[in-house]
Every structure is written in C-alpha cells, then in structure tokens.
Structure 1
C-alpha cells in the first residue's frame, strides 16, 4: 500500500510539474502582458531550480529523483522570455542567460561551492515567493498571474510535506521503539 502511495505521489508530482507553468504561459500570451509577474521572483526561482539540478547531476543522482527540474527550467525559461518580450526588453535576456549558463559550470568547480549553493537553495526558493508576494502587494494587481499555476505548485509542495510528516512520525516511532527496547531489557 505504501509503495503504491509513493508511486502515485512521485508520478503525480512529475505530471503536475510537466504542466506547472503552462497555465501561466497561456495567461501571459492571452493577456499579451506580463503585468503582475515579478521578474526578480522568476529569476530567483530559476536560480533555485538550476542549483538543485546541478547538485543532483554533480552527485550522480538517479534521473527519476529530479526529472521534474529540467522540465520546470524549460518552462521557466519560456516564461521569462515572455516576460522580457511583453515588457519590451528582450535584450536583457542575453546577459541573464550568460549568468545562468556560466553559473552551471562555476557551481561544479568545487564540492564546497555546490554544497553551499544547495544549502541556500531553500532560502532562494522561499525568497522568490516573498518577492512575488511583495510585488503583488505593492501593485495590488495580479494582472496575468495564473492562480492555477500557483495552485499546482502548492499541490507539489503538499506532496512533499506528506513525506516530511511521515519522516518525523517514522523517527518518532523508531525512537519510541528504541526507548521501550531499552526499558524491556532492564526489566529482564
């Protein structure tokens, strides 16, 4: 049963990630606008995705453990190109692309560098959400932001939260078993 749930969580997350940014891209194209979308937020999100992907590649993790990240990166790049296009500054895309491509190689130069980047990855990803929130609060305009994309993103996080909760409960049970084993051996 547990393996079936794990299988469902893994594959449903992958399927959701495969389509995660498509509603956002569609909303932008339909509105012919990037209104409401924070460029710094997208750049931070892409940086977080790239760091995670680079870390997984650096350590040779199995592809199925991180397959959603290349898919998300492609979608984020398309989304960024739409933002640059609708904001009328496509020329800015070049320097950002150069920074991201060069960072891919720089991160792999030293083990401590990729490890440090990975430790900061959660902070980077969280910062991207706060930057988007701040942008929405300041403009008080959601513009072409897709609620479906954010809802799908919440789903993928909810699946991961399940694993964190299960991890904590499994550790608790393990510690309780160890405690009672010690108590049982003292009674004998």
Structure 2
C-alpha cells in the first residue's frame, strides 16, 4: 500500500474506534457527579437528530454498512446520555415523548425521496446548531459542570479528518474564482481586438 493509503485507512479505523467510546468520558463524568450540569439538552437532542438523519439516509440509499457503522454506536451513546439528563433533571417522563418524536422522524424521512434528501442537506446546519447550543449553555452558565473535555477532544479528532475536504473545497473554489477572473480579462481583450 502507498503511504497516503495507509494513512487514510488509519484515519478511518481510528475514527471508528474513537466513535465507539466517544461519549463514555461524558457518561462516566455524569455518573460520578450525579449531575448533568454543564450539558445542554437541546444540544444532545439536535446531535441525535443529525445522527438519525444521516443513518437513515445511508440506509435508504443502501450504502455499505462500513460507511456508516459509527452512527448507530453514536446514537446509542447519545440515548444513554439523554436518559441520564432526563433522570438527573427529574424529567424522565419526557423520555417517552422524545422517543415518539424520534420514531416519527425516522419514518417520515422516507415518505418521499425529497424529504430524506432535504434532511441530509440540513444535517450540517443541525450539527452546527447542536454545537452552538452547547457553547451558548456554557457561556450563560459560566461553568462547565460535568461537560467532558475528553469527549469534546475526541469529537474534535473525529472531525479533523474532514479538514482535508474543507481545505480542498476552499482551494477548488479559489481556483474557480481565479479562472473566472482571468476569463473575464481574456473576454475583454478579445472584445477590444474586434473593435
């Protein structure tokens, strides 16, 4: 194998392994403290929503399981996290209501092809909103409570491999803009020659 291929295989497998235990530090922190202070319920709910949409999309279009294997694992961990949040905030009765909402979402997503496609396009907004809600919660409380820095650091690692795609997106866009810019200059030169 070529070195960059080995690096990609390492990145894929290490990301999967990290995802398998991503929420464990957070869950353990909550269990030790007996509190969910510092965690945003809205953030976790949005995160689960994004994961469910992505998983449903992958299944709907019959992608190979290895391309989305981490999502059922992440969803299960977030469900445990949600149960702790409901338990420690004294709102376990909400667990059933949210389960019903997620079950409905799971089924509504595949009623029409355009629904699942639109939902996937909104996944980045949903995921980003989840992070912003957690940040907002921390800023307002001015206390991290039981929020686990290790969980967030591992999440950062799993997102880091996407950095390559972001860099490539920016560079491709830059090249496109330069081409358009210079094409306009060439068009102007050709117009002057014709005059």
Q: Offset at 1:163?
A: 3.9
Cα RMSD (Å): 1.6
Aligned-residue offset at 1:165 = 3.1
Larger Rg: 2
Counterpart for residue 176 of structure 1: none
| Aligned equivalent of 1:71, options 70, 73, 78 | 73
TM-score of the aligned structures, taking structure 1 as reference length: 0.88
Paired residues, what number?
A: 173
Q: 1:146 aligns with which of 131, 145, 148?
A: 148
Provide Cα deviations, 1:87-110, integer angstroms capped at 9, x if missing partner.
111111000000001110110111
Report the Cα offset of residue 44 of structure 1.
0.5
**Runs of 5+ consecutive residues of structure 1 not aligned to the other structure:** 174-188
Could you give the per-residue CA deviations for residues 117-163 of structure 1, whole angstroms, max 9, x where no partner exists? 00000000000000010011111111110000000000011112124
Q: Partners of 1:107 and 1:131 in 2: how far apart?
A: 24
List runs of 5+ in structure 2 lacking aligned partners.
176-195
Whole-Å separation in 1 of the counterparts to 2:136 and 2:99: 25
Instruction: Give the corresponding residue for 1:4.
Output: 6
**Take 1:12 and 1:40, find their aligned partners in 2: how far apart are those partners?**
28
TM-score (ref. length: structure 2): 0.84
